[in-house]
Amino acid sequence: MSRPELVAPPEIYYGDVEAKKYTNNSRIQQIQADMTYRALELLNLPPDEPAFLLDIGCGSGLSGEILDEEGHLWAGLDIAPSMLEVALEREVEGDLFLQDIGQGIGFRPGSFDGAISIRRFDNTLRRSISVLQWLLNAETSHPTSSPPHRLTRFFTTLHAALKNPSRAVLQFYPTSDDQIQLITSIAQKAGFGGGIVVDYPNSKKARKVFLCLFVGGGGGAQQVPKGLEGEEEDEGRVQFEKRRERLKAKSGGKRKNIKDKDWILKKKELYRQRGKESVPNDSKYTGRKRKPVF
């Protein structure tokens, strides 16, 4: 199936139906929460200090709720009015803005302690998409709508809006190495340090890519955090495998042979009652166990 950013711009793609569907799915809520915690971890905020964060592509405020729980205040940007409407209905705590990040974000320098951008999982397409991906598509032929221009605008204004030192963690799903190259080079030109963090690089399902950008703190003071290694739990399992294993354990390992001696005798008796001819006589050899050789 095609990627949603190739179908339509986000404000059109996320109509009312999509927005509602997205927010009411409990699995998505769970994933979104996990991702937000991981992003907060990567942000490496000073502990026990409430921070003022920017949620880029806040959508319906699912990740914002986690920020609320963690005691942070936040402002959210999104371009899809329908998503923001859902956020209003859910009465999230943060301030919401209808904004196209490709046009740049208008905040005073040093406004935020950090910025996060968590991907959305798209229900109909069964795949995840991120804010950065929307930036990679030109919608009109106007020069300000070219991907490099939009990315430059976004990264420079974001760099300005973050305080020194701080971090921005943006999750994204690159389609190719060229995309990574483009994004990181533009981010570097905008003044960011940092790089790509990949969680579970060897897993197809659990693999996650974060763009971890640093403002200030140069000279090796800030290290790019390590991605999570190893296998995620429940990795490589087929659907319902757990259930099958549970049933197997319940019945006590090896299954009993159905056609044992009792069963054969019962069947023969049944055939005799029905008057079937040539039913063999019962003997001591009936239903005996054969040797493993033929």
Distance in Å, CB of 54 to other proteins, minimum? 10
Distances, alpha carbon 212 to alpha carbons 40, 188, 197, 218, 222, in Å: 11, 12, 7, 14, 11
Site for other proteins in 104-123 (CB under 8 A): 104-108, 110-112
- Residue number with CB closer to other proteins (22 or 112): 112
Q: Is residue 15 involved in binding other proteins (CB under 8 A)?
A: no
Q: Would you say 91 and 23 are in contact if contact means Cβ atoms under 8 Å apart?
A: no
Q: What is the DSSP letter of 283?
A: -
Q: Which of the stretches 37-45, 97-105, 214-222, 247-255 binds other proteins when contact is defined by CB under 8 A?
A: 97-105
Quote the CA–CA distance of 151 and 192 in Å, as a whole number: 13
Which of 57, 59, 64, 94 is in the footprint of other proteins by CB under 8 A? 94
Quote the CA–CA distance of 115 and 54 in Å, as a whole number: 5
Distance in Å, CB of 80 to other proteins, minimum? 11
Total residue count of the chain as it appears in this document: 294
Q: Which residues contact 264 (CB under 8 A, 6 or more apart)?
A: 286, 287
Quote the CA–CA distance of 38 and 179 in Å, as a whole number: 23
Which of 30, 124, 144, 181 is in the footprint of other proteins by CB under 8 A? 144
- Residue number with CB closer to other proteins (61 or 174): 61
From first CA to last CA, the distance across the chain in angstroms is: 53
Q: Would you say 200 and 232 are in contact if contact means Cβ atoms under 8 Å apart?
A: yes
Distance in Å, CB of 1 to other proteins, minimum? 29
- Residue number with CB closer to other proteins (98 or 270): 98
Distances, alpha carbon 244 to alpha carbons 238, 241, 253, in Å: 10, 5, 12
Distance in Å, CB of 150 to other proteins, minimum? 9
Which of 2, 26, 140, 273 is in the footprint of other proteins by CB under 8 A? 140
Site for other proteins in 31-90 (CB under 8 A): 49-50, 52, 71, 73, 75, 77, 79, 81, 84-85, 88
- Residue number with CB closer to other proteins (142 or 274): 142
- Residue number with CB closer to other proteins (37 or 97): 97
Best CA proximity match to 195, nearest among 173, 232, 227, 237: 227
Distance in Å, CB of 130 to other proteins, minimum? 20
Distance in Å, CB of 39 to other proteins, minimum? 20
How many residues bind other proteins (CB under 8 A)? The answer is: 37
Q: What is the residue-wise DSSP string for 181-194? A: HHHHHHHHHTT-EE
- Residue number with CB closer to other proteins (25 or 111): 111
Distance in Å, CB of 23 to other proteins, minimum? 16
Distances, alpha carbon 206 to alpha carbons 58, 89, 200, 272, 274, in Å: 22, 31, 6, 61, 61
Site for other proteins in 145-204 (CB under 8 A): 145, 153, 157, 161, 163
Interacting residues with other proteins (CB under 8 A): 49-50, 52, 71, 73, 75, 77, 79, 81, 84-85, 88, 93-100, 103-108, 110-112, 140, 142, 144-145, 153, 157, 161, 163
